[in-house]
Amino acid sequence: MPNRKIATPISLVEVKTACSNCNLHELCLPMGLSHDEVEKLDELVSNRRRLKRGEHLYRAGEPFDSIFAVRSGFFKTDVLLEDGREQVTGFQMTGELLGLDGISTEIHSCNAVALEDSEVCAIPFSHLEGLSREIHTLQHHFHKVMSREIVRDHGVMMLLGTMRAEERLAAFLLNLSQRFTARGYSPAEFYLRMTREEIGSYLGLKLETVSRAFSRFQEEGLIAVQQKHVRILNIPGLKQLMNHQQGRG
């Protein structure tokens, strides 16, 4: 089993977490590949890495050479402006890829931080390009993943450009709910891994505005929220809120 640190003896745990034995098949890069193809992909995932909460996976300005698949845990990515302003550009959970921003210049353009203890698989990008040339399915799937990221970003732009505070938070909660559902968790109950400030940064709002919107949703019986624990009581209600309001400040 190839591993960057060649001298290190290979533990059973590492073998078991190769793509072919990973339960993220249907979410992650191996999606749609045949058994044989996944085994080829195994050779490519050179390295796993564990991160503690708060640790950086990479920082803006660092050289890029791998993309990362989240194996467990939760991440945020953010960009900084010279004057110190920060924008969270995304939250990544199990099976999602990190580092696509670095392909462009071979320098990472954002920071990736673990919001809880996490584990990632590093995929050296040149190897991925190599294997993509052999396995059409992998090539096509990778292109779809990049494109999906672009479409997702357009959704965030729509949110930031046209929605008011409560609509943004509703959209955010519904998006999380959907992604947790896709991973086999409850659509209606989850723990937020990020602070109000990080939610606010992602949604283009101040933390106080986020907090007030949470309180308002609770008053209206849409959700039950206590700190980071959220229970969605009325999904259709949130959807309606997101779509039928007008204008923005």
Partner DNA sequence: CGCGCTGTTGAAACTTGTCAAAGTTTGTGG
Partner DNA sequence: CCACAAACTTTGACAAGTTTCAACAGCGCG
Residues that bind DNA (CB under 7 A): 164-166, 192, 195-197, 204-212, 214-215, 225-228, 246-249
89 binds its own copies (CB under 8 A): yes
Rounded least distance, CB 226 to DNA, Å: 7
What CA–CA distances, in Å, run from 85 to 36, 80, 82, 201? 47, 6, 7, 10
102 binds its own copies (CB under 8 A): yes
Of 47, 109, 211, 218, the one binding its own copies by CB under 8 A: 109
CB contact set of 128 (below 8 Å; sequence gap of 6+): 44, 67, 138, 142
What CA–CA distances, in Å, run from 114 to 14, 193, 246? 21, 10, 36
Of 21, 23, 34, 104, the one binding its own copies by CB under 8 A: 104
Rounded least distance, CB 179 to DNA, Å: 19
Amino acid 196 reads: R
170 binds its own copies (CB under 8 A): no
- Report which secondary-structure segment, H or E, holds 177: helix 165-182
Rounded least distance, CB 198 to DNA, Å: 8
66-72 and 97-98 as β-strands: parallel, antiparallel, unpaired? antiparallel
Q: What are phi and psi of 173, to 5 degrees?
A: -65, -40
Instruction: Select the span of 9-17, 43-51, 136-144, 188-196 touching its own copies (CB under 8 A).
Output: 136-144
Q: How many CB atoms lie within 10 A of CB 104?
A: 10
Of 1, 10, 15, 158, the one binding its own copies by CB under 8 A: 158
Rounded least distance, CB 98 to DNA, Å: 21
Q: What are phi and psi of 22, to 5 degrees?
A: -90, 140
Tokens for 200, please give them. Answer: 């606010």
Q: Which residues bind its own copies (CB under 8 A)?
A: 79, 81-83, 85-87, 89, 100-105, 109-110, 129, 132-133, 136, 139-140, 143-144, 146-151, 153-158, 160-163, 201-204, 243-244, 246, 249
